[in-house]
Structure 1
Amino acid sequence: MKRIILITGGQRSGKSLYAERLALSLSENPVYLATAHIWDDEFRQRVIHHQQRRGSNWTNIEEEKALSRHSVAGRVVVIDCITLWCTNFFFDRTVNDWEQPTVDEALKALQKEFDAFTAQDATFIFVTNEIGSGGVSDNAIQRKFTDLEGWMNQYVAERADEVVLMVSGIPVKIKGNK
């Protein structure tokens, strides 16, 4: 039966670890779908740390944009994370900087891909960041990205059966089974 769970919170709030533990409680062989583009060596080390934390019972998929091209029917899948996925649509490396998509264009593409991916009969555990919880940036690009991320988070949360806010490693149920 299809189920969508959204886990949100700040950086280093325990979102990914909680998502992984939840997935393992639901399946012996979950899927980990990583949306990250590896930009530099420091980030590569973060990815390696996450990979080492998971055991060989995980199916690992790396996909920056087209989640729906992967069949996960009947599986439990952790998608980590919406923030990096949004980044891949907002800072599209296939176009020149001056041809960057608008927030509306990127949001529509993300929503279309989300709907196609989650049409499968699976348990989806999406991880995301609450990047809009801080102050308003003085950088126009950052403000636009914060808008994109916030609207995409709202889109996923509206469709989610359950939403969990991570605060200092503690899961707080926001929506769903209490």
Structure 2
Amino acid sequence: MIYLITGGERSGKSSYAQSLALQLSNSPIYVATARKWDDDFQHRINRHKQERDERWTNIENDKYFSELDFSGKTVLIDCVTLWLTNFFVDTDNDVNLSLEEVKREFLSIADQKNVTLIIVTNEIGMGVHAETHIGRKFTELQGWMNQFLASKADEVVLMVSGIPVKIKG
């Protein structure tokens, strides 16, 4: 089963996804995709860790999900936007290569036996138009990845002002 939780920044995606994971499992896995770019990111990482109690297994993996075995587990991946950023930066902003690599990594876990995936992503294309060429390229990458994930998901939820709106499933 694949759940995709999408929406704008601070729309309640992570809270909703964590609640869903705990409804589905007494011991979910949380995969944090953020790199510690600066003090602000470290603060966000620390805040997110504090939101999870001893029921959670926390894994920090910024790119290579194919290294992980989630068979029979409930796994929350938070978030696709930061995960994509890591590929985008590491490929010198190559949209096609980034998309190819991240799709391959996603499929490596989606195809595992009896895994439940809850994926958090952002609808960055619904916000302010990116000011830079690289920003516009990343927005395209995010949009294409979101479409791919939504096509694979059994259920898609759009978070709007803290309210979940089921749009698929």
Please, what TM-score do these two structures have when normalized by structure 2? 0.97
Measured in 2, the distance between the counterparts of 1:166 and 1:135 equals 18
Q: Does the residue aligned with 1:173 lie in a helix, a strand or coil?
A: strand
Aligned residues: 168
Q: Distance in 2 between matches of 1:166 and 1:56?
A: 26
The answer (yes or no) to whether the contact 2:130–2:139 under 8 Å persists in 1 is no
Identity over aligned pairs, percent: 56
In structure 2, list runs of 5 or more residues that go unmatched.
none
Match of 2:138 in 1: 145
Q: How far apart, CA to CA, are the structure 1 residues paired with 2:47 and 2:26?
A: 21
Secondary structure at the aligned position of 2:47 is classed as helix
Counterpart of 1:95 in structure 2 is: none
- SS for the counterpart of 2:69 is coil
Aligned to 2:32: 34
Counterpart of 1:112?
Answer: 104
Amino acid paired to 2:167? I
In structure 2, which of residues 144, 149, 158 is the aligned counterpart of residue 165 of structure 1? 158
1:93-130 residue CA offsets vs partner (Å, 9 max, x unmatched) = xxxxxx61521111111111111121112000000000
- One-letter code of the match for 2:142? E
The 8 Å contact of residues 124 and 139 in structure 2, kept in 1 or not, is answered as yes
Match of 2:120 in 1: 127
CA gap 1:141/1:61 in 2 versus in 1, 3 angstroms? same
Distance, in Å, in 1 between the alignment partners of 2:78 and 2:66 is: 15
Alignment partner of 1:38: what SS? coil
Structure 1 unmatched runs, 5+: 93-98
* Alpha-carbon separation, structure 1, partners of 2:161 and 2:2: 23
- Match of 1:11, SS? coil
Instruction: Give the counterpart of 1:84 among 82, 85, 90.
Output: 82
Structure 2 CA distance for aligned equivalents of residues 135 and 20 of structure 1: 27
2:122 maps to amino acid: N
Q: Which amino acid aligns with 2:137?
A: K
* Separation in 2, partners of 1:63, 1:57: 19
- What does residue 47 of structure 1 align with? 45
Q: Provide the alpha-carbon RMSD of the alignment.
A: 1.0
Q: Structure 1 pair 141/101, CA: closer, same or farther in 2 (3 Å)?
A: closer
Taking the TM superposition and a 5 Å limit, the aligned residue runs for 1:42-81 are 42-81=40-79
- Partner letter of residue 158 of structure 1? S
Q: 2:147 aligns with which of 154, 163, 166?
A: 154
